[in-house]
Structure 1
Amino acid sequence: MQETMINTEVTYTLQHQGRFYLIEHVPARVCRETGEQYFAPETVEHMQMLIRTQKKPTKVIETPVYEYA
């Protein structure tokens, strides 16, 4: 049986208190079949710490917003 999970880095997107955040180069295990991403507990804790402490971001981007209507 072939391994369907690969170790890679992903960009994680989240919305918190009305703001959007991108965290790049996050270590993850990704299912080749579904694209589902799995993170180690310490990885999740580190991402939460980055958002909670409001550490200065590496860069800031502007994002267009569209309404579906």
Structure 2
Amino acid sequence: MFKCHVCHSEASHTEFVNEIFQIDGKFYLVENIPATVCSRCGEETFSRETTERIRAMLQGETEPVTSISVDVFSYPFESKAS
């Protein structure tokens, strides 16, 4: 039975999601991940099997299907005067 660890809702649905992982400063996009999604707050959770498959992919057990370049923006940091 599902229970969201963020909002404690018991309502969920299955969805295929995309996630970006950062490992050692490098970004990886994994597409079409099966996820259980909280119907109230949208928190995504993955099964243990799915998590293990993602780990194996990112550790080089499979080759990427494509590579992309992305524009990077840095949110401006404004220091408060003392």
Q: Same fold (TM over 0.5)?
A: yes
Structure 1 runs (4+) greater than 6 angstroms displaced: none
The two structures have a TM-score, normalised by structure 1, of 0.87
1:62 pairs, out of 41, 58, 69, with 69
Task: Note the C-alpha offset of 1:10.
Answer: 0.6
Residues 1:68 and 1:14: Cα distance change in structure 2 (over 3 Å): same
Please identify the structure whose Cα radius of gyration is greater: 2
1:25-62 superposed Cα distances (whole Å, 9 cap, x missing partner)? 11110012111001100100000000111632111111
Q: Which residue of 2 aligns with 1:35?
A: 42
CA RMSD of aligned residues (A): 1.4
Percent of pairs identical after alignment? Answer: 33
Unaligned runs of 5+ in 2: 1-9, 77-82
- Count of matched residue positions in the alignment of Structure 1 and Structure 2: 67
